[in-house]
Amino acid sequence: MANDDAGHQAVIDAALGRLKGEPGPLLLVLHAVQDAIGYIPPAAVPQIAAGLNLSRAEVHGVVTFYHYFKSHPPGRRTVEVCRAEACQAVGAEALAEHARKSLGIDFHGVTSDGALSLEAVYCLGNCACGPSIRLGGKLHGRVTNERFDALTRRPERVK
């Protein structure tokens, strides 16, 4: 993952070069940047704006409109806990509470060792098998407190 300013610039340039010919490309570019860097660095905003002939305010406005785009570096893995109704019906709020306590952070927070971010999501499309979480991209159903701990404490796989 590119994690210095020059690295970021190169990633963003590549995304712009590849996507700017597409109709309405801003979301495509933001996805490409977040996929590569993990978030949208604030310094990327003017570069993206210039590359797409948009104002900085427009790009900033889009980044902040969507819950999925992050302006701060996330943890190495993200755990998303579903807090929507079907999961609530089978104990999602208790699981959310447990997640906070067990990780020692609130929603939108990152653990102090940088290993995990905690996010709320509203439905993962796994509503018959709740409570549901997505951890490091993988969906899990019928998650108990114990299973949550086992999954989040499991050592990260080296890519």
Question: Which stretches of the chain bind ligand FES, using CB under 6 A?
Answer: 82, 84, 86-87, 123-127, 130, 132
Q: Which is nearer to another protein, 50 or 104 (CB)?
A: 50
Alpha helices (H) in the chain, listed in sequence order: 5-19, 26-37, 44-52, 56-65, 85-88, 92-103, 145-153
CB 11, CB 34: distance < 8 Å: no
Select the binding partner of residue 31 from another protein, ligand FES, none (C-beta < 5 to 8 A, by kind).
another protein
Q: Is 65 in the site for another protein (CB under 8 A)?
A: yes
The C-alpha angle 108, 112, 117, rounded to 5 degrees, equals 30
Answer whether the bond into residue 131 is a cis peptide, omega within 30°. yes
Select the binding partner of residue 147 from ligand FES, another protein, none (C-beta < 5 to 8 A, by kind).
none
CA distance 103 to 112: 10
Q: Looking at residues 74 to 93 of the shown chain, list those that interact with another protein (rule: CB under 8 A).
A: 84-90
In angstroms, give the least distance from the CB of 91 to ligand FES.
11
**Which x/- pattern, by CB under 8 A, does the window 110-129 give for another protein?**
-----------xxxxxxxxx
CA distance 66 to 121: 12
Residues that bind another protein (CB under 8 A): 23-28, 30-31, 58, 61-62, 65-69, 84-90, 121-130, 132, 134, 137-142
